[in-house]
Amino acid sequence: MNIFSQFGRGFKFEIRSLPSDLPAPIFDEKGEKFLRLALDRSAFENEGDIAAVQLVRNLRRRQISAEAILKAFVQSTWAARDLMSARGRVLSFGKFRGRTLGEVPRHYLEWLVTGCTNCPFNLRRAAKILLAADKT
């Protein structure tokens, strides 16, 4: 998946997030219970196997495909990586020089996105990611 889609001469900014067309949540309360039990090392010998079968039945009954689970996992992994990378981005100028974006106040992030005229593209992108993460 590309972060940037080219339109003419410019680029459209997109933030990775979970798609809205997936059933939410993938695992309901019973499904979470079955998953935890199936992976529990202290469970009795056949208890984990039975829980795994029940989990698959639960997902099939709710018509959730393997592709939907994998797609949600991949997209959430990329979104988490983008967020971690954005938080670790170090400022090379200004009042908060030498600090990471995760350490600066929200109003400064907003200024980077809207008010800073010479802000590097990747720094502005990282600030947008952090601001979008705060909204959710």
From CA 106, how far away is CA 70, in angstroms rounded?
A: 33
pLDDT-based confidence at 15, cuts 50/70/90?
low
Helix (H, G, I), strand (E, B) or coil at 129: helix
pTM of the model: 0.57
Who's near 73: CB < 8 A, 6+ residues apart? none
C-alpha 110/C-alpha 105 separation (Å) is 9
Residue listed under structure tokens 């720094």: 123
Query: In whole angstroms, what is the distance from residue 104 CA to residue 34 CA?
Result: 41
Domain boundaries, the chain: 23-64, 73-136
Could you tell me if 98 and 91 are in contact, meaning their C-beta atoms sit under 8 angstroms apart?
yes
| pLDDT, tens digit (0-9, with 9 covering 90-100), for 57-83 | 999 999 988 898 888 888 888 888 989
Instruction: For the chain, give the percent of residues with pLDDT over 70.
Output: 82
Tell me the average pLDDT of the chain. 82
Beta bridge partners, 100, equal: 90
